[in-house]
Amino acid sequence: MPTFLDNSWFRNIYCNLVENDSARCASGGWFGDGILPNNLAWLAYTVAAFVICFAILNALLGSVIVYIWAWRRVFARFQRRSGPNRWGPFGMLTTVADAIKTMFKEDVVPAEADRLIFNIAPVLMVVPVFMVFAVIPFGAGTFFVDLNVGILFIIAVTSGSVLAVVMAAYGSANRVAIFSGMRSVALLMSYEIPMAISVIGAVMVAGSLSLGRIVEAQDVPFIIVMPLGFLVFAICALAESNQTPFDIAEAESELGSGYLNDYSSMKFGMFYLAEFAAGIAAAAIITTVFLSGWRGWWPIPSQFWFFGKMGAVLFGMMWIRFTWPRLRPDQVMGLAWKGLFELTLINLLSTGIMVAVFADEEAPGDLFSANELWIMAAVNWVVFVVSIWAIGKVLAPKPYRAAMLEAPVQLYPVGVDEMPAVKAAGAAD
């Protein structure tokens, strides 16, 4: 497991704060003109951690603003419009203006709302999204912490959004918000299960829950090795981040703004921030687990490879969002339980068999070679095609059959006191 000095960000700050004779920095040949003695190394550690946390959080906030601007511009191009173009070059300050406007709006709280729960819910929605980036490796030696249970950590913290939705709905004391909240909870819980199972294949091939180890294992990107796992995870990520076609729970045309119905000002802005930040987090996880993360060709720096792949994933998510219509609630739940759940089990079974076949009993910790990964990919693509065809047959809409009546009747008469009697087909006279 990497130490904190294997992190290039941390090392450059820490080793330039402590004195040159620091044993841990000297052992790796990292020296600087430090200003703190060795007995204050804990202070250098704290300062380095604070600087990195501050940089990541502000970079995420800035990336959300850029993402919203790009989202609007791309959406406009899909509809043959120009999009935001008034404030700043290419309208880049429009999102900043919207954020400032949101901050100064009146904060209205319903009279019957539970104020404590009502106020905590936006915070609980934002914090788990930010925590995801603590374990994402942005490049070679560029990470905050490389947990040996990184995947498990992400699944655990992202499940907190379910609690935030329940609290937002219940704290509003609004029937419409509660109906929408229960629907959203059902959707989130239904898609968390296949999402968690879909990454088990990557964990088995890498032999570790560490995201850094998963990136190192991808001599062949896992999107090629296990296409079923990638497809299921990508669909579940769209649903978990509340993006079209899975955003019916708060569709304006049906339930107002859903569980956000009574939120205003910066509380609503925090939910909005969490939604777009969740999209960025989903793209970062997909890039790390299935697109070989920061790995690429020299001499392009590893960080450029990571953010380039993440940008491509975000564009794909926007493309889907701007193209597909919303699904009905029954269709959303049916896709999760009748389609994605079965696909994850198939992916788990096929990948598990391949891992068992190619596993080296003499060196169980070794990574699979590129040739072995290509063989896995060939088998899994056959499984992918067959599985998609079979699930498509299961989820295909049933053909419409009109009711068989002996004579045409007016089923929904207007202006009469009694409904006409309809004789069942085949009934005896």
**What is the mean pLDDT of the segment spanning 84-103?**
84
The Cα–Cα gap between 259 and 101 comes to 22
Angstrom distances, CA of residue 378 to CA of 186, 298, 348, 355: 36, 28, 16, 14
Q: Across 259-273, 368-382, 402-416, which has the greatest mean pLDDT? A: 368-382
What mean pLDDT is reported for the chain? 81
**What is the mean pLDDT of the segment spanning 94-113?**
85
Beta carbons of 94 and 87 less than 8 angstroms apart: yes
Q: Per residue in 213-250, pLDDT tens?
A: 899 888 889 999 999 999 999 999 888 887 878 876 66
Q: Which residues pair with 142 in a beta bridge?
A: 139
Q: Per residue in 140-198, pLDDT tens?
A: 878 888 888 889 999 889 888 888 888 888 888 888 788 878 888 888 888 889 999 99
State both tokens at 273: 């921030």
Lowest model confidence (mean pLDDT) among 83-97, 236-250, 322-336: 236-250
Q: Is the pLDDT of residue 385 over 90?
A: yes
Lowest model confidence (mean pLDDT) among 79-88, 119-128, 138-147, 252-261: 252-261
Number of Cα atoms under 13 Å in the Cβ half of residue 147: 13
pLDDT grade, residue 369 (50/70/90)?
confident
**What is the mean pLDDT of the segment spanning 9-33?**
64
pLDDT for residue 30: 54
pTM: 0.84
Q: What percent of the chain has a predicted confidence (pLDDT) above 90?
A: 17
pLDDT for residue 1: 47
Q: Is the pLDDT of residue 419 over 80?
A: no
Say which residues have a Cβ less than 8 Å from residue 202's Cβ, sequence separation at least 6: 151, 214, 222, 226, 229, 289, 290
